[in-house]
């Protein structure tokens, strides 16, 4: 299972409450572009409309810009493939105040490209500072243990 794209800042900016695996509807050139690790998940989010889930704000550039049709939009809304139960659960959590649905990663699973999405709550500034402090103390502890060996 190879990870093609990751939203690295998501785990720092958001508190992840629950994650889901979803399929995604892509064109052939988009699949090639993702397998080449081209694209950006930062700034993307998921919206539920009419009983369907859509990935919005994710930029996937064309694989070969010269051979791409003129009407190709790299930031178009892409449909996510989820079960009805999962869509209902995501719709309920999306309607709650302070919660959002964000993409965490794109990876392959049995030759299919999947998107890991998560219901998340935005962290406050003091929570982010606490995370940074914890990282630095963990790093220092690991460094001390390594020096003593």
Q: pLDDT digits over 109-145, tens only?
A: 998 999 999 999 988 888 889 989 999 999 999 999 9
- Antiparallel, parallel or unpaired: β 78-81 and 52-56: antiparallel
pLDDT at 20 over 90: yes
Two structure tokens written together for 140: 């220092």
pLDDT of residue 98: 87
Tokens representing 64 are 């070969």
pTM surpassing 0.75?
A: yes
Residue 63 has pLDDT above 90, yes or no: no
CB 70 within 8 A of CB 142: no
Rg (CA), the chain: 18
Mean pLDDT of the chain: 90
Confidence of residue 71 (pLDDT cuts 50, 70, 90): confident
Has residue 68 got a pLDDT over 80? no
More confidently predicted of 67 and 109: 109
Higher pLDDT, 71 or 134: 134
């Amino acid at each position: 299972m190879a990870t093609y794209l990751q939203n690295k800042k998501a785990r720092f900016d958001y508190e992840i409450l629950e994650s889901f695996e979803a399929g995604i509807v892509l064109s052939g050139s988009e699949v090639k572009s993702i397998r080449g690790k081209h694209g950006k998940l930062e700034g993307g989010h998921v919206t539920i409309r009419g009983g369907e889930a859509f990935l919005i704000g994710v930029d996937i550039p064309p694989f070969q810009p010269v051979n791409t049709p003129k009407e190709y939009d790299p930031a178009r809304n892409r449909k996510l493939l989820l079960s009805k139960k999962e869509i209902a659960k995501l719709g309920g959590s999306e309607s709650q105040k302070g919660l959002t649905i964000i993409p965490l990663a794109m990876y392959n699973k049995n030759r299919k490209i999947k998107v890991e999405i998560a219901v998340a709550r935005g962290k406050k500034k003091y929570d982010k500072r606490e995370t940074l402090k914890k990282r630095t103390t963990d790093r220092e502890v690991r460094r001390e243990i390594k020096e003593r060996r």
